[in-house]
Amino acid sequence: MKPKESVCNGLVDGTFVSLLERQQLSSPSVIVIGGGISGIAAARSLFNASFKVLLLESRDRLGGRIHTDYSFGCPVDMGASWLHGVCNENSLAPLIRCLGLPLYRTSGDNSVLYDHDLESFVLFDVDGHQIPQQLVIEVGEIFKKILKETEKVRDEHSEDMSILQAISIVLDRHPHLRQEGLAHEVMQWYICRMEAWFAADADMISLKTWDQENVPSGGHGLMKQGYYPVIKALAKDIDICLNHRVKKIADCHSKVLVTVEDGRNFVADAAVITVPLGVLKANLIEFEPRLPQWKVDAISELGVGIENKIALCFDTVFWPNVELLGVVASTSYACGYFLNLHKATGHPVLVYMAAGRFAYDMEKLSDEATVNFAMLQLKKMLPEATEPECNRLKKRLSP
Ligand SMILES: Cc1cc2nc3c(=O)[nH]c(=O)nc-3n(C[C@H](O)[C@H](O)[C@H](O)COP(=O)(O)OP(=O)(O)OC[C@H]3O[C@@H](n4cnc5c(N)ncnc54)[C@H](O)[C@@H]3O)c2cc1C
């Protein structure tokens, strides 16, 4: 007898019927851990495919590193704010279009990674003198040449090295590419921008892989109304528990047993873990059995970058109508820049962006000192800058 027929036969038997019915009625269950975009998107897909889904999030809000702040009376993204790759291959793009969320295009397909948010900008030196645009463009071209030359260094070395090391090798080989004085400071600013993309210092960025990222085509767009509506749409109808910090994930008789901070347990057929790498690196979740060694090694060897934002809201707009305002300095660490949200959204908000070691050091300051620092940077460029009406800080890439 074929297996199918055996099921048909079984249907005559009452016990078999109820077992089969139960199997059909209870679709597989999944616990999604983490309510950032990865967790919510995973939960949405599973929910749409008729899985029973429960999402556990440790914070009192959804979104994780997507966090739209409304306290200025307008949306300000304190985490992600760009859609990188405005094209259908980017699964977020059709959703954003469908939700009618407008994008402010900051650059097209031709932009390089460190250049994605920079179509119009002005740079100043620390004394508030605007740097001639011609010099900025020329140094930008030289920087591109230097990066092109680093490809040769990459080909010559089987071992990886930092992009900073490779730049230094290129400059030794081609001293005419080395910049002096103001041009050197502008070069440092370009390095600072590159560091911002990777949220890491140039001596931590891999020569082998820095340009291997596959960013979808279509250029880059800033979410004018913030990213939160995307989170809200994806989370619709999903069973979500906020303030549920997962402490332990255990394999239990072919099920997954998830324990949260207050000791409560949740059981499902499977779990999808979307907590940030930093949480895994810090061993904040216990796994039973322990994760395989190759996974533990991968977690420990991968780095986590830091990028922070300081948003300042002003009464009036006293700055030039460009997308970015930058201050150059003799080291990339001391360079900085503000994103001008007024150009993109019409709201009088400047967002100071800090990345890498500088962002790490900034985290040691009090909120007040951080805002003072950002204002000092602004006043270097624009001495007439007024004090902000209010401010917001985002101080951690990974919770
Ligand atoms: C300042 C900044 C600017 C950025 N700009 C951009 C941009 O413009 N464009 C772009 O594409 N990307 C940008 N990014 C990166 C982007 O924000 C992240 O890649 C993305 O949001 C990560 O989503 P995720 O769901 O993987 O992780 P997360 O958003 O970190 O979500 C993980 C979730 O897990 C939760 N969690 C942690 N531990 C536990 C636990 N034990 N139990 C339960 N829940 C837990 C966290 O609270 C969090 O909500 C930026 C990031 C930052 C910080």
Span from the CA of 219 to the centroid of ligand 1 (angstroms): 22
- What is residue 257's predicted lDDT score, i.e. its pLDDT? 97
The dihedral formed by the CA atoms of 76, 201, 337 and 276, expressed in degrees to the nearest 10: 0
Span from the CA of 183 to the centroid of ligand 1 (angstroms): 36
Q: How far apart are CA 306 and CA 277, in angstroms?
A: 12
Q: How far apart are CA 127 and CA 136, in angstroms?
A: 17
CB of 82 sitting under 6 A from ligand 1: yes
Instruction: For residue 289, say if its preceding peptide bond is cis, omega within 30 degrees of 0.
Output: yes
86 is in an annotated binding site: no
CB of 226 sitting under 6 A from ligand 1: no
- What is residue 217's predicted lDDT score, i.e. its pLDDT? 87
Q: Binning pLDDT at 50, 70 and 90, where does residue 339 land?
A: very high
Nearest CA to ligand 1 atom 34: 34
Contact between 162 and 195 under an 8 Å Cβ cutoff? The reply is no
26 is in an annotated binding site: no
Span from the CA of 179 to the centroid of ligand 1 (angstroms): 38
CB of 259 sitting under 6 A from ligand 1: no
Candidate of 58, 65, 285 to mutate for ligand 1, largest count of ligand atoms within 8 Å of Cβ: 65
Q: Binning pLDDT at 50, 70 and 90, where does residue 11 land?
A: very low
CB of 397 sitting under 6 A from ligand 1: yes
Distances (CA, A) of 99 to 85, 243, 390: 17, 28, 30
**Residue appearing with tokens 């080909």:** 155
| Cα 150-195-397 angle, rounded to 5 deg | 140
CB of 388 sitting under 6 A from ligand 1: no
CB of 336 sitting under 6 A from ligand 1: no
Could you tell me what percent of the chain has a pLDDT over 90?
Answer: 81
Q: How far apart are CA 259 and CA 229, in angstroms?
A: 30
CB of 59 sitting under 6 A from ligand 1: yes
- What is residue 15's predicted lDDT score, i.e. its pLDDT? 42
Contact between 131 and 139 under an 8 Å Cβ cutoff? The reply is no
Q: How far apart are CA 258 and CA 106, in angstroms?
A: 43
Domains of the chain: 29-64+227-301 (3.50.50.60), 111-214+305-396 (3.90.660.10)
Contact between 94 and 88 under an 8 Å Cβ cutoff? The reply is yes
Span from the CA of 67 to the centroid of ligand 1 (angstroms): 9
pLDDT, average across residues 105-118: 63
Span from the CA of 394 to the centroid of ligand 1 (angstroms): 12
What are the tens digits of pLDDT across the range 143-191?
Answer: 999 999 999 999 999 999 999 999 999 999 999 999 999 999 999 999 9
Say how many C-beta atoms besides its own lie within 10 A of residue 295's C-beta.
12
Q: Binning pLDDT at 50, 70 and 90, where does residue 132 land?
A: very high
Q: What is the DSSP letter of 105?
A: E
Say how many C-beta atoms besides its own lie within 10 A of residue 159's C-beta.
6
pLDDT over 50 at 308, yes or no: yes
Nearest CA to ligand 1 atom 31: 36
352 is in an annotated binding site: yes
133-156 helix and 163-173 helix, angle to the nearest 10 degrees: 100
Q: Binning pLDDT at 50, 70 and 90, where does residue 6 land?
A: very low
Atom of ligand 1 nearest to the CA of 285: 41
What are the tens digits of pLDDT across the range 38-72?
Answer: 999 999 999 999 999 999 999 999 999 999 999 99
What are the tens digits of pLDDT across the range 218-239?
Answer: 888 999 999 999 999 999 999 9
pTM: 0.89
Nearest CA to ligand 1 atom 50: 80
3-state secondary structure of 304: coil
- What is residue 293's predicted lDDT score, i.e. its pLDDT? 98
CB of 224 sitting under 6 A from ligand 1: no
Q: How far apart are CA 41 and CA 46, in angstroms?
A: 9
Q: What is the DSSP letter of 113?
A: G
Contact between 362 and 292 under an 8 Å Cβ cutoff? The reply is no
Span from the CA of 78 to the centroid of ligand 1 (angstroms): 11
Q: How many helices (H) and strands (E) does the chain have?
A: 13, 19
CB of 186 sitting under 6 A from ligand 1: no
Contact between 229 and 121 under an 8 Å Cβ cutoff? The reply is no
Q: Of 251, 250, 245, give the one whose Cα is nearest residue 263.
A: 245
Q: Binning pLDDT at 50, 70 and 90, where does residue 111 land?
A: low
Tokens encoding 326: 């930058």
Mean pLDDT of the chain: 89
- What is residue 120's predicted lDDT score, i.e. its pLDDT? 80
Span from the CA of 282 to the centroid of ligand 1 (angstroms): 16
Lowest pLDDT segment from 212-221, 264-273, 296-305, 311-320: 212-221
